[in-house]
Structure 1
Amino acid sequence: MPSRFVLNPVSYHGYGALAGVKDVVEDKRLKKIVIFVDRFLKENKISDKVVKYLDQVEGLEYTYFTDIKPNPSIKNVLDGLKVLKDFEADGIVAIGGGSVMDCAAGAAIINTNPEFEDVRSLEGVAPTKNPSTPIIAIPTTAGTAAEVTINYVITDEENQKKMVCVDPHSIPVAAIVDPEMMESMPYGLTASTGMDALTHAIEGYITKDANDLSDMFHIKAIELIAKYLPKACENDKEAREKLALAQYVAGMGFSNVGLGLVHSMAHPLGALYDTPHGVANAILLPTVMEYNAGATGEKYREIARAMGVKGVDEMSEDKYRKAAVKAVKDLSISVKIPEDLKDIVKEEDIEFLAQSAMDDACRPGNPKDPTKEEIIELYKKLI
């Protein structure tokens, strides 16, 4: 069975990578750009680190779109689309975390495929015909990998659901991953986005469509995250740089092979309670790993090894599987992630959450096919 890999045409990495934005704008001959950025990053002049390079491009005009909430909504996408149209933009620079990039992706794809302007028709694998308005993606968090993926998530507030949209036409034309843009992240955000990246790597590694190429990316990402996340939370510069690379590498993999049950259970938590996505993933990951263990062959041994567990080759199957789960749980605790959903989930909502998880686009990729009743029990274990 052949497999397909879709990646950015170009990406820049490491301290100093921001200068690459000027090269990309000039190479693409962009003349009118909308900068998608949240208000905090603009008001605190973090986006100015990028704009100083845009100001060096002769003849370039730009404006801003800042009306983007965490877990961006259909309205956010349509508002951004209006700015693109009114400004007659030929490009986007998206500065921020996954929310900013997802909003930019939705607006950019509709701008060139107007038949999807209802937004809801983008859910799943959308049959768009044209590449989106070019996006240069500059992450300010190390976790979502939205700068390298063909996936983006938009919240349908009316129906209380997150729509997972999958479209190779939406991938940014360039990713600029400079850890300098991440140094303003507080401890908690670094921890939750880092655990989001670990979830991407582990779910991508064990998903049904995983292959040798994606496995290579995911194992390296697990290794780097396990080693550098705690230090990155303390704003160590080398650790910031390694974590920024690790989350991108995880994105290179999972974008092409899919995810699983952790994400399908986390998405409705964000839609219903506005739970930060990385926090939801981190809390769910060990419990779902335990559930999936029997369907993963020898892969948990390699997860345990990448997490730094010693002596895995001498362990029984049951022991190395438990060791992998424990290593993930220990890392999550070490960076102060909550251990359960008691302060988030209301028991009367579990039926709705479970059905939403069953309907989520990530669920079919899970290595073990869950029933709705099993998902209900997984939620209940954590409250």
Structure 2
Amino acid sequence: MSNRITLNETSYFGEGAIQEIINEVQNRRLKKVMVATDPDLLKFKVADKVTDLLDSADIDYVVYDHIKANPTIQNVQEGVDFCRIQQADVIVAIGGGSSIDTAKAIAVIMTNPDFYDVRSLEGASPTKNKAMPIIAVSTTSGTAAEVTINYVITDVEKHRKFVCSDPHDIPVVAIIDPQMSASMPAGLCAATGMDALVHAIEGYITKGAWELTDMMHLKAIEMISKWLRQSVEGDMKAREEMAIGQYIAGMGFSNVGLGIDHSMAHPLSAFYDIPHGVACAVLLAPVLKFNASATGERYREVARAMGVSGVDDMSQEEYRQACIDAVQKLADDVHIPRQLRTLGVKEKDIDFLAASAIADACTPGNPRDVVKNEIIEIYKSIL
């Protein structure tokens, strides 16, 4: 079996990186930009940092801002219609996973119109054509959507999220400029940062993990564990480091998959509209406990990367518990809730949530095989 690595063409890092948007649009001879963002980023003038650049360079653009925190099929289809009417030839997506995921789906359908029924893109999408160009400008430090081949869309009618995986959708350019995350509130910073940690840990223990992605995931775990607390407090150096750490995690997990933490988080977001990062974070420690028996010595290396000392002198049981404890301590320190009830989850819904999680595209990658009743027990353990 061969292992595949797919990454985007070009990425820019550091303060002022958004300036490169102009060069990329002009050098690629693109004529009209569709800016895809959410209403809050417009309201708080974060998106203005990009549109002001487009104005100064006299680049033609239109704005599509009908994007929700958990983007829906309707968001995507409206965006496709808008893009066609406006005759845009590049999308500049500004935001976190929501904006960039929506842009990916729009861009794929624009060049593969037979997939206008967004549900047809679920799973390993069988598209034939590369998506229209996307320049992804990250404003959070967690989803790594700017460097992954994955996106997630909410099916409101069926109360579920579905994962699409398609090398054709990856943005051609990623912009990771810490100034774009400067106004990110502490709660969002914590949630997206913990989501990045979940990406790194799940990617490291997934069935598809191998040496090249192990390198990425362990470095991401190290960086996120070191910098997340200060990032939540607003430290700009920490936010810059987190932006790089989450990107590295994205490089890895995009190519090897995830596990049941994400499988279980997706229905929580779809059913209760819980922010994705929060859903992932609250599940991480209990999922790690469930998966421990199937991970060999990997929890020792996770614990080491998180700064736990003396792991080489610990028994397997001890270093596995040390790993779980370190994860829970970080979640507690950035004020992630421990119980699902505090997020509005009801026991009567758990059977539906578990059925959705079992059917999720991330489940096969989990290091330990799982059945529905075990998913139910994990949910109940933190209800």
Q: TM-score, length-normalised on structure 1?
A: 0.99
Counterpart-to-counterpart distance in 2, 1:102 and 1:232? 24
**Residue number in structure 2 paired with 1:171:** 170
**Residue number in structure 1 paired with 2:50:** 50
Deviation at 1:106, TM superposition (A): 0.8
Q: Deviations over 1:301-333 (max 9, x none)?
A: 000000000000111010000000000000000
**Residue number in structure 1 paired with 2:335:** 336
Counterpart-to-counterpart distance in 1, 2:313 and 2:44? 52
Q: Deviations over 1:239-265 (max 9, x none)?
A: 010000000000000000000000000
Please say if residues 111 and 133 of structure 1, whose CA atoms lie closer than 8 Å, have aligned partners that are also in contact.
Answer: yes
Counterpart-to-counterpart distance in 2, 1:64 and 1:90? 13
- Are residue 361 (structure 1) and residue 353 (structure 2) matched? no
**Residue number in structure 1 paired with 2:38:** 38
Deviation at 1:83, TM superposition (A): 1.1
**Residue number in structure 1 paired with 2:25:** 25
Counterpart-to-counterpart distance in 1, 2:78 and 2:256? 31
Deviation at 1:24, TM superposition (A): 1.2
Counterpart-to-counterpart distance in 2, 1:23 and 1:299? 43
Worse overlay, 359-368 or 21-30: 21-30
- Are residue 232 (structure 1) and residue 212 (structure 2) matched? no
Report 1:119-198 matches (<5 A). 119-198=118-197
Aligned length, in residue pairs: 382
Q: Secondary structure at the match of 2:45?
A: coil
- Are residue 256 (structure 1) and residue 249 (structure 2) matched? no
Counterpart-to-counterpart distance in 1, 2:266 and 2:159? 10
Deviation at 1:163, TM superposition (A): 1.0
Q: Secondary structure at the match of 1:175?
A: strand
Equivalent AA in structure 1 for residue 13 of structure 2: H
Counterpart-to-counterpart distance in 2, 1:135 and 1:148? 11
Counterpart-to-counterpart distance in 2, 1:44 and 1:240? 19
Q: TM-score, length-normalised on structure 2?
A: 0.99
Q: Secondary structure at the match of 2:187?
A: helix
Worse overlay, 366-375 or 49-58: 49-58
Q: Secondary structure at the match of 1:12?
A: strand
Deviation at 1:54, TM superposition (A): 2.0
Identity %: 58
Deviation at 1:56, TM superposition (A): 4.1
Counterpart-to-counterpart distance in 2, 1:218 and 1:31? 38
Counterpart-to-counterpart distance in 1, 2:42 and 2:82? 17
Counterpart-to-counterpart distance in 2, 1:336 and 1:43? 26
Deviation at 1:26, TM superposition (A): 1.6
Equivalent AA in structure 1 for residue 64 of structure 2: F
Deviation at 1:43, TM superposition (A): 2.1
Q: Deviations over 1:132-156 (max 9, x none)?
A: 1100000111000010000000001
Counterpart-to-counterpart distance in 2, 1:211 and 1:196? 21
Q: Deviations over 1:260-299 (max 9, x none)?
A: 0000000000010001000011100000000000100111
Please say if residues 105 and 170 of structure 1, whose CA atoms lie closer than 8 Å, have aligned partners that are also in contact.
Answer: yes
Counterpart-to-counterpart distance in 2, 1:63 and 1:205? 40
Report 1:70-149 matches (<5 A). 70-149=69-148
Q: Secondary structure at the match of 2:151?
A: strand
**Residue number in structure 1 paired with 2:382:** 382
Q: Secondary structure at the match of 1:310?
A: coil
**Residue number in structure 2 paired with 1:16:** 16
Deviation at 1:44, TM superposition (A): 1.9
**Residue number in structure 2 paired with 1:68:** 67
Equivalent AA in structure 2 for residue 279 of structure 1: V
- Are residue 311 (structure 1) and residue 327 (structure 2) matched? no
Equivalent AA in structure 2 for residue 333 of structure 1: D
**Residue number in structure 2 paired with 1:223:** 222
**Residue number in structure 1 paired with 2:351:** 351
Equivalent AA in structure 2 for residue 208 of structure 1: K
Equivalent AA in structure 1 for residue 28 of structure 2: K
**Residue number in structure 2 paired with 1:271:** 270
Deviation at 1:237, TM superposition (A): 1.2
Equivalent AA in structure 2 for residue 180 of structure 1: Q
Please say if residues 92 and 136 of structure 1, whose CA atoms lie closer than 8 Å, have aligned partners that are also in contact.
Answer: yes
Deviation at 1:373, TM superposition (A): 0.6
Please say if residues 109 and 170 of structure 1, whose CA atoms lie closer than 8 Å, have aligned partners that are also in contact.
Answer: yes
Deviation at 1:57, TM superposition (A): 3.5
Equivalent AA in structure 2 for residue 233 of structure 1: V
Q: Secondary structure at the match of 2:163?
A: strand
